[in-house]
Structure 1
Amino acid sequence: MTALLLPLADAEPGNQALTISLFTAVVAVTLYITWWASRQNKTAADYYAGGRNFSGAQNGLAVAGDYMSAASFLGISGQIALYGYDGFLYSIGFLVAWLVALLLVAELLRNSGRFTMADQLAYRMRQKPIRTAAASSTIVVSIFYLLAQMVGAGSLVGLLLGVTDEALKAGVIVLVGALMIIYVTIGGMKGTTWVQIVKAVLLMTGTVLITFLVLLKFDFNLSKLLGAAADNSGKGADFLGPGLLYGKDLVGQIDFLSLGLALVLGTAGLPHILIRFYTVPDSKSARRSVQWAIGLIGAFYLMTLALGFGAAALLDTGKDSAVATSKGNTASPLLAEVVGGGAGSTGGAILLALIAAVAFATILAVVAGLTLTSASSFAHDLYANVFAKGKVTERDEIRVARFAAIGIGAVAIALAIPAQKLNIAFLVALAFAVAASANLPALLYNLFWKRFNTSGATWSIYGGLVSAVLLVLFSPVVSGKPTSMFPGVDFAWFPLSNPGIVSIPLGFLFGIIGTYLGKDRTSEQRYTELQVRALTGAGAEAAAKH
């Protein structure tokens, strides 16, 4: 077993070169797709919504590709490998969250919006305040989510190159940031969507392959796999029960509830997921997208069980192991190396390369989608509709979106470098909490509450956003613990790692308070029209063309 647990840095140089070559090939293919797609972009609808001509199956693959991020492939398997049962709760949360998004928001938003989340809110609200609030929230949520993807990229490439130095990993994060800016500024939504489709196919193929090889080692006996994972983890039966990560005390139990609430409600407020439904031509295609996405996402999260417990059974997950020091982020690639034949073997090198390349393509696709979402919101909502008051050409709007992508990418790079010590599934859970606190209350109130007005929407968005971000800032995530972003200082007066249990109810409460304090009743006049459009799609296609 010891030979199987050697880090990549100890592998034969020839195998390492093969690994890096295969890894680079996938990156080159995605860059070619982006360049090809850039030649198809002629209008704002092409750049923001891919021309609205993707089929239901294509968009379903892209939605799944966007949702099955590095947090899912790397972070969740790592959490399971380190914490067993408690880690698998992330898989359940992410899967259930998708169902909530579909039932409550996805199709209704597609029918009543155009390019961004703010389009739906602004339909019956005053343009300037609501677009400013929605764009601010979109950008903050996207940056939180970007941190997770870029931290994953640093861990992944560090593993591939045998890099342990933090400064070199920071250089990797800068490289990923530069690549994502290229994807967005050149390819737009069309390029991003095709990269996500390719990535979804590769990710499902790679996950099925690793799951098959893991189960093969244990004679396709899940009980045998779980028993081996418990024994090898050093924690025994406790590994298969709750309590290793959450629930050790009252604070831990509340933190677990907060995490669950954020995961279940967060997806319905994630802008980069919701705008994917603007890329299809009609409501029927949107529903078809949903069917494809549910099938792919459901199968994937079931397979994370085999990835995580397989890593616990076959890898060293002790305190000083490569898996533990990366906070679990390298569990899946190292597992691929082991089931392929072990470190130093050609099979292990090839499988590690393929899985690492798939994971890196996953990261690139998701960061491109996130950056495009936030850049589009800045250009379409703030620049075109707030600053320029609608008096702007599509060409100028797209140009501003490209510059915004550069700025947002730079901010994400700067924040991701000190966040390298955090598990990426955990970082994504923070993004979910912010999205559920700031975006979801306003979207639901706008769709289902006639009395809701501009004041309520801005109070809801800003109240949920500020409360979530402040609670994260003063939590153990940022300071006070050896695993914090800044371990040398301590200003963590908020005890929970995830703010959702406090900030999400606050977002809903602020929406109610703001609505009754506001005197604007004009939003009620367009509520019926919005409801008809959201439920039936009547007029949505015509509005999308303007």
Structure 2
Amino acid sequence: MSGDHQTPALLLFSAFVAVTLGITTWVSRNRQGSAEEFYTGGRLFSPMENGFAIAGDYMSAASFLGISGLIALFGYDGMLYAVGFLVAWLVVLLLVAELVRNCGRFTLADIVAARMRQRPVRIAAGTSSVTVSVLYLVAQMVGAGSLVALLLGGTSGAARSWTVIGVGALMVIYVSLGGMRATTWIQIVKAVLLMGGAIALTVLVLVRFHGDFDQLLRTAAARSGHGEAFLAPGLTYGGDWTARFDFISLGLALVLGTAGLPHILSRFYTVPTARAARRSVVWAIGLIGGFYLMTIVLGFGAAAIVGPGAVRASNAAGNTAVPLLALDLGGGAGSTGGTVLFAIVAAIAFATILAVVAGITLASSASVAHDLYASLRRRTSEPRSEVTVARAAAVGIGVVAIALGLLARDLNVAFLVGLAFAVAASANLPVLLYSLFWRGFTTRGAVWAVYGGLLPAVALVALSPVVSGSPESLFPGVDFQYFPLQNPGLVSIPLGFLAGWLGTVTSAETPDTAKHAETQVRALTGAGAV
């Protein structure tokens, strides 16, 4: 992009940042400063508002930039991410949403600790939640860097680095000043913008092919260099046994991981009742389902119109496929229409990243303050001191996410999110389901379930091709690759469930049946829920 073409996008970036900072400032002047206000926004959001906020939280840079890029590069196999991300919400709706709202207060650990010894459970669940959140944040940082690097010419490593730092600074401001209320309204604004942008691009792609989706697919296959194989399974996850198991592993992680994501679970506490939480998920499924259908059109549209070669030349991981598609649909790099459409799409993508990182940072800082800090003090902390710790934690988490984002800036954002989902499904989902549905579950079982999924997942990622042993790795110059799969879910998710079972059956602790009965009644009826 030339200097003249960069100006509209930078102006739109600035406008969105100004609006969201305005929202944050307004909320910070009207907040009460209580823990409930900071963590849940006072539980005052309607199901529709929370549904839009959930959609805004979930439709991240991985969705808008990463999935479309993977489809543009790998065709059918790239659609696995869209399918997995959407199907996951059926698990959330049927097993998690209403029960979590009735049983918890602020974090995942509240649900588990209700019938266990508080300190070990909160430390384990808090550690896991922060780990998942940081992994998810890294993906958003990488997306922001790729986007701005394209805007400034595609080769500016310094611009990419400063963008990652800037996004980290903004997310700390949003969370520290505005808490959940500001974060929710930022996510609602972002969801509306993202849906509007996706609809506009989808319509333009279909108009380009006169509404003939079959022609779109044939053109994409012809330009891909793979022919009909581009439209069939196996281009990425076919062939040898390693690729096939990677396919299964990724599918498991995507479908099961959503129910263990801390920033998604925290959204169920922002509505007044469990029924409202369930209706929020229905709203979210409608919005997210429509959006992922459009990403399929955008991905194949980028392959057919821009071409995989041009997408790879801009960003090897495919993260810039949608902005390049917008540029072409508007008339090309030298046209006013292309410049304007590119600027709008780039600004929407940037808004997506800012909103998602705010939600994730809030959830992780809540885990640090409400679970780790309160547990390590060995006594109940004052709500105001807890909120102060949460704000400080947001800064620390931001620094860690910035550092890792700079390290992983050449990986696909959807792929990075897949790793976060695998860790969430391995560490958080087993302990959550066991706590809700197993009468005999014990404290040792809860701690073992968390660490039994978390540690193998992180270790397997460290020993996988993601980190070393290939040109696309984080450290391409070294090789300590001993685990062949890129996603650890196939191994680490069963290990999390197995560790929880093993810890329970080997525990001398007698389960508190009265507390389990109380939790079950609360989960199913809402009686006594906060």
TM-score by length of 1: 0.95
CA RMSD, 1 decimal: 1.2
Aligned to 1:408: 397
User: What does the per-residue CA deviation read over 1:100-131, in whole Å, with 9 as the maximum and x for residues that have no partner?
Assistant: 12211121111100011100111001000000
User: What does the per-residue CA deviation read over 1:276-334, in whole Å, with 9 as the maximum and x for residues that have no partner?
Assistant: 000001122112212211110110111111110000001132288434x3411000111
In structure 2, the gaps of 5 or more residues are none
Q: What does residue range 295-374 of structure 1 map to in structure 2 within 5 Å?
A: 295-318=286-309, 321-323=312-314, 325-374=315-364
Aligned partner of 2:242 among 247, 251, 254: 251
How far off is 1:479 after superposition? 0.5
1:399 paired with 2:391, answer: no
Aligned partner of 1:521 among 506, 510, 518: 510
**Distance (whole Å) between structure 1 residues aligned to residue 311 and residue 186 of structure 2:** 36
CA contact (8 A) 1:40 1:46 kept: no
1:456 paired with 2:445, answer: yes
Q: What does residue range 70-109 of structure 1 map to in structure 2 within 5 Å?
A: 70-109=61-100
CA contact (8 A) 1:127 1:386 kept: no
CA contact (8 A) 1:272 1:369 kept: yes
Q: What does residue range 130-169 of structure 1 map to in structure 2 within 5 Å?
A: 130-169=121-160
CA contact (8 A) 1:38 1:186 kept: yes
In structure 1, the gaps of 5 or more residues are 1-7
Aligned to 2:411: 422
Letter in 1 for 2:324: L
Aligned partner of 2:107 among 102, 116, 130: 116
Query: What secondary structure, in the 3-state scheme, does the structure 2 residue paired with 1:318 have?
Result: helix
Aligned partner of 2:462 among 473, 481, 486: 473
CA contact (8 A) 1:418 1:486 kept: no
Runs of 4+ in structure 1 deviating by more than 4 angstroms, as ranges, are none
User: What does the per-residue CA deviation read over 1:390-423, in whole Å, with 9 as the maximum and x for residues that have no partner?
Assistant: 0x32211111101001001111111111101110
How far off is 1:163 after superposition? 4.3
Letter in 2 for 1:187: G
1:22 paired with 2:26, answer: no
**Distance (whole Å) between structure 2 residues aligned to residue 163 and residue 33 of structure 1:** 32
CA contact (8 A) 1:452 1:524 kept: no
Aligned partner of 2:254 among 239, 249, 263: 263
1:531 paired with 2:517, answer: no
When residues 326 and 185 of structure 1 are mapped into structure 2, their CA distance, relative to the original with a 3 A threshold, is: farther
**Distance (whole Å) between structure 1 residues aligned to residue 186 and residue 316 of structure 2:** 27
CA contact (8 A) 2:311 2:321 kept: no
Moved more, 165-174 or 487-496: 165-174
Equivalent residues, number: 529
**Distance (whole Å) between structure 2 residues aligned to residue 288 and residue 227 of structure 1:** 40
Query: What secondary structure, in the 3-state scheme, does the structure 2 residue paired with 1:520 have?
Result: coil
CA contact (8 A) 2:66 2:319 kept: yes
Aligned partner of 2:432 among 430, 443, 447: 443
Aligned to 2:220: 229
Aligned to 1:37: 27
CA contact (8 A) 2:23 2:186 kept: yes
Letter in 2 for 1:122: A
Letter in 1 for 2:19: V
Moved more, 27-36 or 53-62: 27-36
User: What does the per-residue CA deviation read over 1:352-385, in whole Å, with 9 as the maximum and x for residues that have no partner?
Assistant: 1111111111111111111111101110112124
**Distance (whole Å) between structure 2 residues aligned to residue 271 and residue 126 of structure 1:** 21
User: What does the per-residue CA deviation read over 1:413-446, in whole Å, with 9 as the maximum and x for residues that have no partner?
Assistant: 1111110111000000000000000000000011
How far off is 1:388 after superposition? 4.7
**Distance (whole Å) between structure 2 residues aligned to residue 197 and residue 40 of structure 1:** 19
User: What does the per-residue CA deviation read over 1:40-60, in whole Å, with 9 as the maximum and x for residues that have no partner?
Assistant: 321111100011000111000
User: What does the per-residue CA deviation read over 1:244-280, in whole Å, with 9 as the maximum and x for residues that have no partner?
Assistant: 1111211100111100111110001111101100000
How far off is 1:525 after superposition? 2.6
CA contact (8 A) 2:427 2:451 kept: yes
TM-score by length of 2: 0.98
Q: What does residue range 477-492 of structure 1 map to in structure 2 within 5 Å?
A: 477-492=466-481
How far off is 1:232 after superposition? 1.3
1:241 paired with 2:232, answer: yes
1:500 paired with 2:500, answer: no
Moved more, 40-49 or 62-71: 40-49
CA contact (8 A) 1:380 1:397 kept: yes
How far off is 1:168 after superposition? 3.0
Aligned to 1:197: 188
CA contact (8 A) 1:75 1:329 kept: yes
CA contact (8 A) 2:56 2:191 kept: yes
Percent pairwise identity: 63
How far off is 1:345 after superposition? 1.1
CA contact (8 A) 2:48 2:280 kept: yes
Query: What secondary structure, in the 3-state scheme, does the structure 2 residue paired with 1:439 have?
Result: helix
CA contact (8 A) 1:125 1:453 kept: yes
**Distance (whole Å) between structure 2 residues aligned to residue 50 and residue 77 of structure 1:** 33
How far off is 1:341 after superposition? 1.5
Letter in 1 for 2:317: K
**Distance (whole Å) between structure 2 residues aligned to residue 159 and residue 475 of structure 1:** 29
CA contact (8 A) 2:261 2:421 kept: yes
**Distance (whole Å) between structure 2 residues aligned to residue 180 and residue 320 of structure 1:** 29
Letter in 2 for 1:198: V
User: What does the per-residue CA deviation read over 1:15-69, in whole Å, with 9 as the maximum and x for residues that have no partner?
Assistant: 3212221222112111111111222321111100011000111000000111111
